Chain A
């Protein structure tokens, strides 16, 4: 995004720069911890132990990672087309409504049909809700950033209305749908692996995690190994050159936004079908926004997205454990880290590239 490109070797560009900016972000978080009178080292130790120190902790970590893979990929795909999709929250919300309707209406179908159909319905809902801002930008010139912000609020108000007045469980105090049928939900990992003789503690980790891994591979193949991915990247790099090469920037904008929305829908699959087995209000819980940090830190590459999704999974699970031990450090700390990561890895990218470039040059001169 910086206007004066700084040449860096590929390994430094893809590995070192994100690493330096994330380290800097974690240092800032450490300062905040220090500021509220706790020891950052002790907090880090508790956090890592909570996230990785037990099989149960790791299960939770991977469950959070699943959410971040989906929302991170959603941001990454749009980024390849030069678009900034901040509508992950809204797209996941609409995906949740579509998916819940499929789970409830198609309940007579056998599970082997119902589950894929519900996942497809969710993806279609997210895709539709990404398609509209993409279409508006491509044909009417309204910027996706503003449209997706407005769409997040529209989705939130729509879901309140639907869950309270239309789809809500009768007699429930909470805004939620009735529970999905037992054959309409995804298998938890500990049940899936039990017949193989692998005993796992019960965690929310479910087969949506496998779906997320598949999505990583599929998006890698799509973006870097397919004609469509090439077209998307070309439009992102230079829309005029793309148009000259016979690629329609308008069409790629729409395709990338729809694809991005469908990926954000994965969040609804993991949360509603995998864990809660019904649609709850506000189930997106900010995962869509953290996905922006994941996408930026991962440089839009599926490997990077996987790694940074795992990092945020560790922070989420570790942060939850940490707040049990140290009530002064709430889980909102993770939101702070997410914000600083977006600032450092996204907006101040130029600064960190320059720092890395200068350091490398110093090394060469010495």
Chain B
């Protein structure tokens, strides 16, 4: 039974580690499907993590933290939208600006307010999202072999943002694929001129997508600071926003494969943590860096078309100019 517990523990941390990636990947997917490239996912998550930690500390409520996190992230999204949609600026440049702005402003404000080198005070009790125990978790563990243990250990026992993030996958898939709004949004990322000809506002749809992107980044950032950790740490996103970009490419800009890609990258991360300093028979010490580098390396190889083919939305990254 020992190996089963090990697997359960690894899968459990896979889910925990994949949630920020999943939020950011879905966020990037929404934005890019509408034709707005967003490399500022990292910055938005960071600002959300900071805002949520501050709000949760001040109010003592994790849900207030979530609200503040989403608000801060959406504000940055609107800045990106203003530059990229209204002023047709370079979307990459705007994303880089948002990442830098977020990296600087969170530390400056955190240090000025709490004087702990940018950290926010530790969150306790209701200021953090507690672990929810799903129904029958205990009973299943006792009475159902293997599956019961996995259910209790892996599926049950996460904070509310985890379930919200996973719920966002079917919702994203449904809205994009089966609703009028989703159809239009996908159209605006492929051929904005056609959407414009049909009398639908290109800018309106793109702003909508960018705001949804902000909400999801807000959820991801809040999860980092208020659920996974108990407070904000400088640069705590640690490149997750960029791995999420990789996951979007891996998933070919589709929601369910995005879930898969994020779980895969989360699993790699969990294994890397598990193998830290472990001597494997016959191999010796595993270079953890090699496992950490895999998501980046795989993305480069995939993009270069050596395995499969990544096809981005046709109009992504291009500002829309109405012809006169």
Contact residues of A with B, CB < 8 Å?
Answer: 1-4, 32, 35-37, 84, 86, 136, 140-143, 145-147, 149-151, 153-154, 157-158, 160-161, 165, 289-290, 292-293, 296, 327-330, 332-340, 342-343, 346-351
Contacts and interface: CB of A to CB of B under 8 A. Distances in A.
Contacts, number: 168
Contacts of B90: 1, 84, 346-347, 349
Contacts of A145: 39, 92
B111 A348 contact: no
B112 interface: yes
Interface string B295-310: 0110110011110000
A330 B119 CA distance: 13
Contact of B104 (A140, A142, A334): A334
A315 B17 CA distance: 37
Given A136-B304, A146-B249, A343 B79 contact: yes
* Interface SS, B side: helix
A161 B303 contact: no
Given A346-B93, A346-B97, A333 B104 contact: yes
Contact of A154 (B83, B91, B104, B293): B293
Interface stretch (B1-9, B183-191, B284-292): B284-292
Interface residues of B, number: 51
A142 B89 contact: no
5 contacts: A37-B112, A289-B96, A332-B118, A347-B93, A349-B90
Given A146-B249, A154-B293, A335 B104 contact: yes
A93 B319 CA distance: 34
A349 B89 contact: yes
Contacts of A330: 107-108, 111, 118
B299 A146 contact: yes
Contacts of B287: 161, 165
A343 B101 contact: yes
A339 B299 contact: no
B99 A339 contact: yes
B296 A153 contact: yes
B109 A36 contact: yes
A336 B293 CA distance: 29
Contacts of B263: none
Interface in B229-288: 239, 242, 245-246, 249, 287
B98 interface: yes
B58 interface: no
A153 B239 contact: yes
A3 B89 CA distance: 9
A350 B89 contact: yes
A83 B198 CA distance: 34
Nearest to A28: B101
